[in-house]
Structure 1
Amino acid sequence: MLNLGILAHVDAGKTTLTERLLYCAGVIDEPGSVDAGTTQTDSLALERQRGITIKSAVVSFTVDDTTVNLIDTPGHPDFVAEVERALSVLDGVVLVVSAVEGVQPQTRILWRALRRLRVPVLFFVNKIDRRGAGYERLIGDIAERLTQAIIPMGSVSGLGTRGAAFVPSGDASGSRLAEMLAEHDDAVLTAYLDGKAAMPRDWLRERLAAQVRDTLVHPVYFGSAITGAGVDELLRGLAELLPAASGDASGPVSGRVFKVERRAAGDKIAYARMFSGMIAVRDRVRFGRGRDGKVTAISVFADGTAVRSDSVTVGQIARLSGLAEIQIGDVIGIPPDNADRHYFAPPTLETAIVARDPRGKPRLHAAITQLAEQDP
C-alpha cells in the first residue's frame, strides 16, 4: 500500500498526469481532459468550469503488487490549506515541474514543506512535447533552486515536439548514479572505487530505493502527461522506489481526517488515513477533542474508486460514515507522530461576513458552519 500525493504549481499538469496514470494502470479506458471537464478527480462544478483543482481528491490503482492511493491536490496558492492537510497522510510525493516554465514560486513553497516533513519525492518534468521545453536547463533549475541531490533517470529524444520521448538510462550502474549514492553509502563507495563491474544493476537499484526512502536523493523523470511519454517509467518508479505504508494493524487505533464532504442528503463523509490499528463497521471511535461516534459505513479505495468494506486497517485510506460531529484535521484514536504540525504560513487576511437581512442570520450561520467543517 502506497499513499501518494501529486503536487505542483498551478497548470504544471497534476490532474492530467493523474488521468494518464489511471489510464496506464488500466483503471480507465481513456484519459479525461481538464479543459473538457471529464477528469476523475475534478468533480466540483467550479473545478470543471475553471479547469483547476480546488479540493483534494482520492483515486486508486495497482502497479504490480502495490496498491496506490493517489491524492490529487490543488496547485493554486489560494487552496494551499488543502495541500497541507494532504501532506499529513502521505508516504511519498510526485512533484510535477513544467519543462517549459521550470521551477515556479509554488514549487519552491511545496518543496520547503516536503523537506521539513521528510517525505520521499520523485520529480516528474512534464510537457516535454511543448515548444520551449528544456532538459539540461530543467536539471540545472531544479539543482539550483530546489536541491542538488537529484538523479536524472534517463534522457529525452525529440524535445519540444509531439513525438518527444523519455529514454530510460540503460545502465543503472552509471557513474552519475553511483557517485550520488556513494556520498551516503559506504558499500556503494567501496564498489565504485573497485570498479563498475562490482555493482550489479539490481543491487544498485535497491541502494537507490533505500536512499530515496531516506530522502537523501530524488530521481527525476521526464515525460508528457498528454502524450503518455515517460509515464510508464514513472509508474514503475513509484512501486520500486517509494516506501510502502507501515504501521501495526494490531496496535491502538490511530488515524487522521484530511477531508470532509457532505452528500446531497446532508450526511457527513470523513476521509481518513489509518496509521495504526483497525476500524470496523459499528465500532465506536473517539476523535477530535473528546468527541466520539459510531461508524455506520466504510468505503476503501480500490481500482479507481471507493468500494464498500467491513473494515479499514493500517495504511489504508477510507471514507467513514456516521460520525456527525467529526471535522477536518481531527485525529481518530491516539495522535500519529506528525500530529499538530503546520507546514505553510497561516493566512494574513481575514474577512467578516454579515447577513444582508438580519432575519437570515441563522441560515447564514448554518451555511458557514458547514463550510468550516470542510475548511476551518
Structure 2
Amino acid sequence: MWRTCHAVRTLNLGILAHVDAGKTTLTERLLFVSGVIDQLGSVDDGNTQTDSLPLERQRGITIKSAVVSFEVNGVVINLIDTPGHPDFIAEVERVLTVLDGAVLVVSAVEGVQAQTRVLMRTLQRLCVPSLIFINKIDRSGAQEGPILQSISDRLTPGIIAMGSPYGLGTHDPGFTPYDPAEPGFTSRLTSQLADHDDALLAAYVGDEKVPYDQLRHSLVTQIRAAQVHPVYFGSAVTGAGVEALIEGVTEFLPTVEGDAEGPVAGSVFKVERGPSGEKIAYVRLFSGTVRIRDRLHFGDNAEGKVTAIHLFDHGKAVHHGTVTAGHIAKLTGLVDIQIGDAIGTPRTTAGHYFAPPSLETVVVPSNPADKGALHSALTQLAEQDPLINLRQDDVRQEIYVSLYGEVQKEVIQATLASEYAIDVTFRETTPICVERPAGVGTSLDVLGKGGNPYVATVGLRVEPAPAGAGIEFRPDVTIDGIPIHAFKDVEAFRRTVETAVRNALRQGIHGWQVTDCIVTMTKSGFVSATSAKDFRLLTPLVLMDALSRAGTIVCEPIHRFHLDVPADTVGQMLAALARLRAVPETPVIRGSECTIEGVIPAGRVHLLQEQLSGLTRGEGVLESALHHFEPVGGKAPSRPHTGVNPLNRTEYLRQMKRGI
C-alpha cells in the first residue's frame, strides 16, 4: 500500500537500459501498479503505453523517448522511457539534461551489457542519482551473486543490495527487502557508506554500532550525490520486486520544488509534429511559470507565443493553462523551436555527453520524382534528431544523413515509408572523416585590388591546433580596421567574422569538416560604403585560400572497443580483428571469459558486430564508441561539397553575384 501525503512533490525519472533488458515492460508495470492503466500491455504484442509509434510496436524496441505520469507515495513521477539501442543514443542524451534521477535496468540473465556500461558511466559523470533494478529474475538462468559481482566489477563498486530475491528462474519469484534491524545488512551498509562518510568510517574502524537513522541519512545523501546506487531485484513481467523499487524511488531520489516566481528557464529535449503539422516542444521547466499566450525567448534570438500547454497527468497529456518550475510540459506555438534550445534564461550545460555519429550514407528515393518530398520529410526528421545532420549536394542532387549504425538506417527507411509514403534505398555506409591543417597558410584580399569585388579587406592565417582542440578564432586586428558604422559594436564584428569562418570550415579541401585549427584575422580594412555583408561574403574566400596553402590531412574516425568473449575463442577473435584493421591490446583472461580492448576504424565496427556471433557461439558482447581521429593511410578520401564552394573563386563570385 502506498503512503499518503498531503504535499505533492515532483520527480522527473528516466528509465535507462541496454536494449531488451525490459525497461519498457517495467514502465508498463509501474503504470499498472499505480493505477494509471487497468490492463498490462506487452512489448511483444505491440500495445504498451510508451512505445506508441507503429514502428516501435512492429520492431518491439523503443526509438523515441516517451513521457508518462503517475503518482505514488505523494510523489508525482514524470517517467521518461528512453531507447536502449545504441543507434538511438542521441535520444538518451537529450533526456539526461532534464532528469532528477534514473533507474538503470539490468537483465538478471544477460547481465551487464555494452550499452549498460555506457549509460552508467554517463550517469556518474553527470552525477544523476540512480537506482539499479535487476530485472527478469523469473527467467531461466537468472542469478544473484554473479550478477551483483558483475555490476561491481564492470559498472561501479558503489552498490548496495537492498534485499534478496527468491524463486529465481521460476514463474513465481519474489524479492524480500532487508530489515533495517538485521545486523548483516547494517554492517554491509556501514562498510559501503564509510568510503564517503568520515563519521561512519571512524565508527566502522572502531567497531561501533551505528544507529540506522544515521545510516539512512548517509545513504540518502550519497545516493543523491551519485556516489552509491541501491540495487533491487524483480520481474517487470510478474511484478515481483516492483513495489520495493517504487518505495526506493520515492524514498531515495530527489524530488523537485523549483522557484515558480523566478525567471523562466527551461530546456527542450524533444520536438514532434502535431496532427496539423505544428511543432510541439517537450520542455523541462527549471524555474519560473509559463502561461498560454506568454511570449518566450529561446535558442539564440528566437521568440514565439505559447498557444497551448499540455501537462502529463495519470498517463495522459492534458490541456492546462500554466506550467510551473519542476514540471515537464508540451508547448505549442513556438514555430522555430529546436531540440536543445534553452527557453528563457540559459542554464550552464556540459555539452554533448556521447560521441557524435561517425558514419553517413546517401538516401536515394526509389522514384526520382520524390526528391523534393524526400528532402522535406528528412528535414522534419532532422527536427526530431538534429544529429542526423541532413545535408544536400546540389550538384549531384544527393541527400546525406549521419548515422550511429545500421539499425538507425532501417528505422529511417521504415519511417519514410510509413509516415511519408516515400520508398528509399541507401548507398553504402561510410565513415565521416575530418580534416586538420597540415601546416600554416595565409591569405589576404585587399579592398579594390586583385579582383576583390567586396568593399572590405580581410587577411587570415590558418594553423594547426592540438588534436581535440576544435576551432579557435582570434581577431588580431586593431580597432581602426573595424567598420563600427556597419556593426553595432566590436563584438558584433567579431561574431560576424567568426560565424563566417566556422561556416566555411564545415567543408574543407576534401569536403570534410575542418577541425583542430587556429584561425587568426590578421588584417581588416573598410571604407564608408562597407557593410557587414562584405565581410561575411569575403571571409570564406580568404579562408579557403589560406587553407589550400596550408594543406589538410584527412583523418578517419577510430572507435575504442571492449569485447567480452569466451576464452577458447580468443585465437579466432584476434585473427578477425587483424583482418578488420583493429589494433587489440593484450587479452585479459579470467577463467572461461576473456576481455579484449583496443581500437578499430569506425567503418569496420559493423562488420565486427556481424561476425561476432559466429565467432563466439553467440556469447560475445561488443561495446564501442568514437574515441579519436587519425590520418588515413594512402589516398585521402573526399566527399562532394554542398552549396557554393569558395574553393572555386570564379564560381563562388558568380553565384554570390546572383544572390545565391
- Tell me how far apart the structure 1 counterparts of residues 345 and 328 of structure 2 sit (CA, whole Å): 17
From 140, 153, 165, the counterpart of 1:144? 153
Worse overlay, 260-269 or 3-12? 260-269
* 1:188 partner letter: L
| 2:128 matches 1:116 | no
| 2:47 matches 1:38 | yes
From 378, 383, 395, the counterpart of 1:368? 378
| 2:134 matches 1:125 | yes
| 2:266 matches 1:255 | yes
* 2:58 partner letter: Q
| 2:356 matches 1:346 | yes
Worse overlay, 252-261 or 6-15? 252-261
CA contact (8 A) 1:253 1:276 kept: yes
From 105, 113, 135, the counterpart of 1:104? 113
Counterpart of 1:353 in 2: which secondary structure? Answer: strand
* 2:258 partner letter: G
Paired residue for 1:171? 180
* 2:87 partner letter: D
After TM superposition, list the pairs within 5 Å mapping 1:143-292 onto structure 2: 143-171=152-180, 174-192=186-204, 198-199=210-211, 201-245=212-256, 247-292=258-303
Worse overlay, 168-177 or 101-110? 168-177
* 2:166 partner letter: S
From 17, 33, 51, the counterpart of 1:8? 17
CA distance 1:25–1:203, change in 2 (3 Å): farther
* 1:76 partner letter: H
- TM-score, normalization by structure 2: 0.55
CA distance 1:48–1:355, change in 2 (3 Å): closer
- Tell me how far apart the structure 2 counterparts of residues 238 and 86 of structure 1 sit (CA, whole Å): 18
The CA deviation string for residues 268-309 of structure 1, in whole angstroms up to 9 with x for no partner, is 111010111111110000111211100011111121221211
The CA deviation string for residues 217-249 of structure 1, in whole angstroms up to 9 with x for no partner, is 110000000000000000010010011125322
Counterpart of 1:312 in 2: which secondary structure? Answer: strand
From 42, 46, 69, the counterpart of 1:60? 69
Counterpart of 2:363 in 1: which secondary structure? Answer: coil
Paired residue for 1:307? 318
CA contact (8 A) 1:56 1:82 kept: yes
CA contact (8 A) 1:275 1:336 kept: no
Counterpart of 1:351 in 2: which secondary structure? Answer: strand
CA distance 1:369–1:343, change in 2 (3 Å): same
Counterpart of 1:301 in 2: which secondary structure? Answer: strand
- TM-score, normalization by structure 1: 0.95
Worse overlay, 100-109 or 181-190? 181-190
Q: Please, which runs of 5 or more residues in structure 2 have no aligned partner?
A: 1-9, 387-660
Q: Please, which runs of 5 or more residues in structure 1 have no aligned partner?
A: none
From 6, 25, 28, the counterpart of 2:37? 28
Counterpart of 1:38 in 2: which secondary structure? Answer: coil
- Tell me how far apart the structure 2 counterparts of residues 39 and 299 of structure 1 sit (CA, whole Å): 21
Worse overlay, 266-275 or 171-180? 171-180
The CA deviation string for residues 34-93 of structure 1, in whole angstroms up to 9 with x for no partner, is 111111000000000111100000001112111110000000111111101111110111
Worse overlay, 300-309 or 266-275? 300-309
CA contact (8 A) 1:85 1:329 kept: yes
Larger radius of gyration: 2
- Tell me how far apart the structure 2 counterparts of residues 220 and 318 of structure 1 sit (CA, whole Å): 31
| 2:86 matches 1:77 | yes
CA distance 1:357–1:304, change in 2 (3 Å): closer
Counterpart of 2:124 in 1: which secondary structure? Answer: helix
Give, in angstroms, the shift of residue 25 of structure 1. 1.3
Counterpart of 1:174 in 2: which secondary structure? Answer: helix
Worse overlay, 161-170 or 358-367? 358-367
* Percent identical residues: 62
* 2:32 partner letter: Y
Give, in angstroms, the shift of residue 318 of structure 1. 0.1
The CA deviation string for residues 104-163 of structure 1, in whole angstroms up to 9 with x for no partner, is 001111111112111111000000111000100010000000110100001111111112
Counterpart of 1:69 in 2: which secondary structure? Answer: strand
Give, in angstroms, the shift of residue 22 of structure 1. 1.0
Give, in angstroms, the shift of residue 193 of structure 1. 5.8
- Tell me how far apart the structure 1 counterparts of residues 206 and 259 of structure 2 sit (CA, whole Å): 41
Give, in angstroms, the shift of residue 206 of structure 1. 2.5
Paired residue for 1:47? 56
| 2:322 matches 1:322 | no
- Tell me how far apart the structure 2 counterparts of residues 235 and 130 of structure 1 sit (CA, whole Å): 22
* 1:28 partner letter: I
CA contact (8 A) 1:246 1:275 kept: no
* 1:69 partner letter: N
- Tell me how far apart the structure 1 counterparts of residues 252 and 258 of structure 2 sit (CA, whole Å): 19
Counterpart of 2:105 in 1: which secondary structure? Answer: strand
- Tell me how far apart the structure 2 counterparts of residues 293 and 135 of structure 1 sit (CA, whole Å): 53
CA contact (8 A) 1:61 1:67 kept: yes
Aligned residues: 374
CA distance 1:361–1:223, change in 2 (3 Å): same
Taking only aligned residues, the RMSD between alpha carbons, in angstroms, comes to 1.7
